[in-house]
Structure formats: C-alpha cells, structure tokens
C-alpha cells in the first residue's frame, strides 16, 4: 500500500529532475565535442560540474547578504535598486563565484594546454551551476518552469560561460608567455563581460514595460547566435598553448 502511495510521487519528481538536468547535459556534450585537439578527462569534467554546483551555493550566500544590505540602503521602488541588484549583486556574485572555483580547479592543471580548453571549463562550470539551480527551481515550481528555463536560463548560463571561457583561454596563453599584465586583464574580462551580459539578461527579463518580452527575446537570440559563432571559430582556431 505504501509503495502505491509513494511511487507516483517518486515518478513525478524523477520526471522533474530529468527535465531540469537533460538540457544542461545536452549543452555539455555539444561543447565537449567541439574540443577538437585534446578532449578533457572525465575526472576534470566531473570536477568542473562539482565546482559549478558549489559556486551556486557560494553565490546564493553572497546574494542573500548583499541583498539585505541593499534593501537597507536603496529604496526598492527606485530604478537604481534594480540596476544594483541585477548587475552589481546577482550577476557579479554568480559569475565571480563560477570563475573563482573554475580557476581553482583548472589554472594549474596539466590538462589546461589548449586555448579552447578555457571555453570547455567555463561552460561546464556554468552548466553545473545552471543544473543545480534548475533542479531547485523545477522542484519548487514544476514542469512548466523546466520548459521555460530549458530555452532561456540554461542556454543563457552556457552563453555566459562561452564569453568567460574565451577570455580565460587567452589569459592562459598570455600567462604561458610570461605576460602577466595582459593575462590579468584577460582574467578580469573573463568576469566582467559575462557579469554585464548576465546583468542585462536579468534586468531585461524583469522589465515591466509593454515591449519587455520582445526586448528579452531579441537580446537572448542575439546572445545565443554570437555565442554559437564564437564557439565554432574558437574551436577551429584552437592550438596548443
């Protein structure tokens, strides 16, 4: 009797988790196959996914603390509040957390020997972040949320990862050439550019204007197309560091 009561609940939750996980795994496979020179080990890829999951927990802690501080210092009805929230808190907390754990996992690794590796690393960390975040959203809000996030939030995190990885791979090349100044600049851009895109994504998504949805669709489409082109070009131009 207990089995018949519990089984539908387990099946439903299993479907929700699958809906949350499958889009992220699909994009991971796509980027992994784009690595033409020397593909990363399963051990490295698993560590990157774990780093992405841990980065989501770190970002959540940062966001909670900073949002409380923001609420006490800036009126929530003011336009400045949303700008600081989406660009300065949510976007920066999430992208910097991804970057810090990605760098800790990969920067000194012997596997980081090709420039495109930076894209693989950043996308896997970003999708590990998105995977965990998606599971929590889907378990709270249901299957409809999984469908929406499958075509918006998860590819969005992948795109942020592409931009992060492009600069991260270039930074590693400069580091190998002992050009620490340029390497530092590229590492900084590996956080700043994805954070700006992430902030714009969240800000436009929450706009309360009549054309807000249209702006969001156009922004997302342009970002996806640019990211797709960048992955193709970076893959073809890849070379050992």
Q: Give residue 240's pLDDT.
A: 86
Q: Give residue 224's pLDDT.
A: 87
Please give the tally of structural domains in the chain.
1
Residue 7 lies in a domain: no
Q: Give residue 170's pLDDT.
A: 96
Q: Give residue 77's pLDDT.
A: 84
Residue 1 lies in a domain: no
Q: Give residue 145's pLDDT.
A: 66
Burial profile 68-107: b = 16 or more Cβ within 10 angstroms, e = fewer: eebeeeeeeeeeeebebbbbebbbbbbbbbbbbbbbebbe
DSSP structure string for 188-223: HHHHHHHHHHHHHHHHHHT--STTHHHHHHHHHHHH
Asked if residue 13 lies in contact with residue 139, where contact means CB atoms within 8 angstroms, the answer is yes
Residue 5 lies in a domain: no
Nearest to 45 by CA among 128, 159, 160, 151: 128
Q: Give residue 20's pLDDT.
A: 60
Q: Give residue 6's pLDDT.
A: 46
pLDDT averaged per 10 residues, the chain (length 241): 46 62 76 86 94 94 93 88 92 96 96 94 93 78 69 85 96 94 97 96 83 83 90 89 81
Half-sphere exposure of 238 (CA within 13 A, CB side): 24
Residue 163 lies in a domain: yes
Residue span of the structural domain in which 81 resides: 12-236
Tokens of 65: 């603390």
Predicted model pTM: 0.88
Is 25 in a helix, a strand, or coil?
A: helix
Distance in angstroms (rounded) separating the CA atoms of residues 67 and 84 = 9
142 phi-psi bin (left φ>0, alpha ψ -120 to 50, beta other)? left
Residue 113 lies in a domain: yes
Q: Give residue 154's pLDDT.
A: 83
Q: Give residue 3's pLDDT.
A: 44
Residue 241 lies in a domain: no
Asked if residue 119 lies in contact with residue 227, where contact means CB atoms within 8 angstroms, the answer is no
């Amino acid at each position: 009797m207990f089995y018949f009561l519990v089984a539908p609940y387990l099946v439903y939750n299993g479907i929700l988790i699958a809906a949350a996980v499958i889009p992220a795994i699909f994009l991971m496979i796509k980027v992994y196959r784009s690595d033409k020179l020397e593909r990363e080990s399963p051990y490295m890829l698993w560590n990157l996914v774990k780093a992405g999951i841990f980065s989501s927990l770190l970002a959540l802690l940062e966001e909670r603390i900073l949002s409380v501080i923001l609420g006490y210092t800036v009126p929530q009805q003011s336009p400045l509040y949303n700008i600081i929230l989406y660009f300065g808190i949510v976007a920066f907390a999430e992208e910097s957390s991804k970057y810090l754990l990605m760098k800790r996992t990969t920067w000194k690794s012997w596997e980081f020997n090709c420039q495109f590796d930076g894209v693989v690393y950043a996308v896997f960390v970003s999708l590990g972040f998105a995977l965990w975040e998606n599971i929590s959203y889907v378990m709270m809000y249901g299957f409809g949320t999984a469908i929406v996030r499958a075509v918006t939030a998860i590819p969005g995190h992948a795109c942020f990862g592409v931009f992060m990885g492009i600069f991260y791979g270039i930074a590693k090349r400069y580091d190998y050439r002992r050009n620490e100044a340029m390497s530092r600049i590229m590492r900084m851009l590996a956080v700043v550019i994805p954070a700006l895109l992430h902030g714009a994504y969240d800000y436009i998504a929450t706009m309360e204007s009549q054309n807000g949805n249209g702006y969001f669709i156009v922004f997302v489409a342009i970002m996806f197309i640019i990211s797709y082109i960048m992955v193709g070009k970076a893959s073809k131009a890849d070379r050992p560091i």
